Structure 1
């Protein structure tokens, strides 16, 4: 269903419904590409033949610390070797691949290349297949197979002077993620693929030969940011397609992005038609699909860990049930994912703007008597304090002995906790308020710092909270 809606939006061509069953196109040593199954399927009812590398005008732009900017970038040619370029076989190589309607000079690619070169002394190659990535989407989808094959051929040539295939890392966004998969499938021993919100239409639920999957590299990590329902026009896959799949904010609508159908539609159509390369299109008001590369770029040099927690679903994570790293272990989304051995699906929260990384806490409070109202908390650490955090969106009723458990996020690193401040605001509901005391007596208070994997307990036993009068609580042992 999602694929059909996407086609209605972007397949503005006279030959849209032409039958393409069991055709093939051959391009020299790249081999032949057929429209037969598994590339034609229920998920992909229309499968076109790809265009040649020459028709797509595929280019490879090299960026190194010696030539980091667009003005000094060098072009590598398949079949031409490294020539007199600054490519070095002694350095690891990262290859960046854009998706639908983009090109090799989009700002996000240049930002990511700059961040990577700041972090490491690398060969960074930006793939430009912009002439093959335009509308209609069905043709761009078909073209990805040739782009992947062409990248594989370049990597084979470059590996003859070094580094080994294990030191090549392809980072692809949207259709670019599946392109990375095609390249890795041919190379067999590619080191790493990072999929940035791999495209859903024509890929979700397809055979592994059609889409990115864990067999395409020694390590495949994926960031899902736009796997929302068709009603919300999500363009990214939701299914797990890597060794490690990250679902920031549940993997669907991202904070600060339009979440309604018409908001996302207007942004997507405008970007696709005009292909404007502006901050508005790629940063400040980026849609959820684009947020994946923004988060990855931020993770490269961020001092904040994008710690992600193993969980079975977004709802379980949102309930605060998945903050433990025991058992399968945790991971870190983005640049440092390769440093962790944990595998599976991982969840975390991010903010709506930079700095995106957030710190996660599970707060547990037990009361001696009944209460109705709201609770606000301020966390104090060795590096600073949080803002005032409402633990409830509206008045709640809790019976004595009940553990109030709340999951909160803090946008800055406040360090190990030292004390907290609590404020209880009793409800003013005249119908039920009389049934509950004005004061609320505490039995216990604990906070799990997920990033530290440490439980803090506070001097709460016997303390009384009077409505609208905040109190401070120190750590147990300092009471």
Structure 2
């Protein structure tokens, strides 16, 4: 989303946002519990990838599709969940799926919420973009409800425990992940193992507080801030583990696109770095306190830095700073 360069345009967008927000009031009544509308989650698709080139849809409550997938039981299972206007083939989904699938120690399931994420709506103008975002946001709780039901379906029929489930989410997908984590706890009395929030989307409406990703939505909530001054969340303490990458606001993207990862922005840098760290143990994090969390280029001077990403030690908690450069 490009920044508006003049005051009148900024005020116009603010007015548009709030008009759209007010129009959604009826959809979000003054209540504490999340809305339950499982029948509306039919648009959610779950694709299992035993290898990067094999795609097998597992349909919620369809044992035949689950059995046909030959998903590995009692195995750590990753759910990939991209953000606003994402589809099954969006860059974050495609690259992360290719990077993780085919490994013997994990299952990879790509969650396609394209029919709910705003991908099917026009965003050619600022008004259309705001409207599409509000529609996508309004669908986050519905998508989260269906994901929670799917988690239980896998646990009961696929012998995959909640503790072995990890959701790797990006941007507005982090809202869906937060809603899914909350709903799982509410319905089944347990939490899933981990939710990774890769530069969670900034909070536009007051209703987002009900579903946004935060501590308690999983046994461990792991947040990576890369664009806090832009489209990323500016809150400082939403995770059990909070990573401030190069200060958490602006990232060292190269002018040219990478042939491996594609177009880089401070927002996309979050998932690009997470993927890079899977196959490179050179990116480390040091504990931080106060202002040094926001240090743009701090040297790692702690005695025992931790590896970030998939291989972060399971018992790590707290806030950390990360210094990383452009990814090749």
- TM-score computed with the length of structure 2 as normaliser: 0.79
Q: 1:299 maps to what in 2?
A: 277
Cα 1:90–1:255 shift into 2, 3 Å: same
Q: Secondary structure at the match of 1:170?
A: strand
Supply the distance in 1 between the matched residues of 2:73 and 2:314 (Cα, whole angstroms): 26
1:290-328 CA distance string (max 9 Å, x none): 111101111112132433332322477458597324xxx
Partner of 2:160 in structure 1? 163
Q: 1:377 maps to which residue?
A: none
* Cα distance, 1:142 vs structure 2: 0.9
- Distance in 2 between residues matched to 1:146 and 1:102, nearest whole Å: 16
CA displacement at 1:19 relative to structure 2: 3.5
Residue 176 of structure 2 corresponds to which residue in structure 1? 179
Whole-angstrom CA distance in 1 between matches of 2:310 and 2:205? 25
Distance 1:104 1:295 in 2: 20
Aligned to 1:73: 55
- Answer yes or no: is 1:332 the counterpart of 2:307: yes
Distance 1:318 1:99, change over 3 A: closer
Change (3 A) 1:313 1:155: same
User: As a proportion of its length, which structure holds more strand?
Assistant: 1
Q: Which runs of 5+ in 1 are unaligned?
A: 25-33, 41-48, 229-233, 259-278, 355-479
Which one has the bigger helix percentage? 2
Distance of aligned partners of 1:137 and 1:316 in 2 relative to their CA distance in 1, 3 Å threshold: closer
SS at match of 2:145: helix
Instruction: Give the match's secondary structure for 1:183.
Output: helix
Q: Deviations over 1:47-98 (max 9, x none)?
A: xx999224xx221111114xx31xx301111111313112122322110001
Using the alignment, how far apart are the partners of 1:253 and 1:17 within structure 2?
29
Quick check: 2:241–2:317 contact (8 Å CA) kept in 1? yes
Structure 1 residue aligned with 2:126 = none
Structure 2: gaps (5+ residues): 4-8, 119-128, 186-190
Give the secondary-structure state (helix, strand or coil) at the position aligned to 1:350. Answer: coil
Alignment-derived partner of residue 252 in structure 1: 249
1:99 aligns with: 83
Q: Residue 40 of structure 2 corresponds to which residue in structure 1?
A: 52
SS of residue in 1 equivalent to 2:242? strand
Change (3 A) 1:19 1:334: same
CA–CA separation in structure 2 for the residues paired with 1:100 and 1:167? 27
Instruction: Quickly say closer, same or farther: Cα 1:206–1:142, change in 2 above 3 A.
Output: closer
Specify the alignment match of 2:100 in structure 1: 116
Distance 1:98 1:16, change over 3 A: same
2:20 matched residue in structure 1: 16
Provide the aligned C-alpha RMSD in A.
3.5
Query: Residues 47-446 of structure 1: matches in 2 within 5 Å?
Result: 52-54=40-42, 57-65=43-51, 68-69=52-53, 72-81=54-63, 82-117=66-101, 119-134=103-118, 135=129, 136-160=132-156, 161-188=158-185, 189-202=191-204, 207=209, 209-228=210-229, 234-239=230-235, 240-256=237-253, 283-314=261-292, 317=295, 323-325=301-303, 330-337=305-312, 339-354=313-328
Mapped to 2, the partners of 1:315 and 1:212 lie a distance apart of 20
How far 1:109 moved relative to its partner?
1.4
Question: CA 1:132/1:182 → structure 2, altered by over 3 Å: closer, same or farther?
Answer: same
Pick closer, same or farther for the CA change 1:206–1:73 going to 2, 3 Å.
closer
Count residues in correspondence: 297
Distance 1:128 1:223 in 2: 22
Contact kept, 8 Å, 1:306 with 1:334, in 2: the verdict is no
Residue 430 (structure 1) aligns with: none
